[in-house]
């Protein structure tokens, strides 16, 4: 599985941004796609994940109500719509994939994209 993240950029606090992750290779109904983020000097944190079948979705508490993860099966693409952005959302956002159940554990994901920078100015 190859993952290509895109859509990052610079946005003011309170604004919105959508990042995308295009997947190629073996994506099936048992796949799980996730977004993680890593700020400078910090660990990589879970943001959101969904099962490709659509039966399960999970969010980090810090983004609930502001971020929405979704997928386009026809395009093999996962999106992360980010609204009401805050400066603390500034990070490199990575998409990841695995087979199995939705989990927030980064070590459980086998495939990673290259990351896209999201910067939120105050």
Q: How many CA atoms lie within 13 A of 21 on its CB side?
A: 31
Would you state the structure tokens that stand for residue 111, as one six-digit string? 């495939």
pLDDT at 27: 83
Q: What pLDDT, in 10s, does the model give residues 12-39?
A: 999 999 999 999 988 888 899 999 999 9
Chain segment 88-100, per-residue pLDDT in tens: 999 999 999 999 9
For residue 34, give the nearest of 88, 121, 110, 120 by alpha carbon.
Answer: 110
- The confidence score (pLDDT) of residue 17 equals 98
CA distances from 83 to 1, 15, 65, 70 (A): 29, 6, 9, 14
Please give the pLDDT value at position 97: 96
pLDDT at residue 11, rounded to an integer: 98
Mean pLDDT score of the chain, rounded to an integer?
Answer: 95
Of 111 and 29, the structure prediction assigns the larger pLDDT to: 111
Banded pLDDT at 54 (limits 50, 70, 90) = confident
**109, exposed or middle or buried, with CB in 10 Å at 0-12, 13-18, 19+?**
buried
The residue to which tokens 């659509």 are assigned:
54
């Amino acid at each position: 599985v190859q993952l290509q993240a895109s859509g990052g950029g610079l946005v003011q606090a309170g604004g919105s941004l959508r990042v995308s992750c295009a997947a190629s290779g073996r994506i099936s109904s048992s796949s799980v796609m996730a977004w993680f983020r890593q700020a400078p000097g910090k660990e990589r944190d879970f943001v959101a994940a969904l099962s490709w079948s659509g039966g399960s979705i999970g969010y980090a508490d810090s983004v609930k109500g502001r971020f929405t993860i979704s997928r386009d099966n026809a395009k093999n693409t996962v999106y992360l719509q980010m609204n009401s952005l805050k400066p603390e959302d500034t990070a490199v956002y990575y998409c990841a994939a695995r087979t199995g159940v939705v989990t927030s554990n980064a070590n459980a994901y086998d495939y990673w994209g290259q990351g896209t920078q999201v910067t939120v100015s105050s």
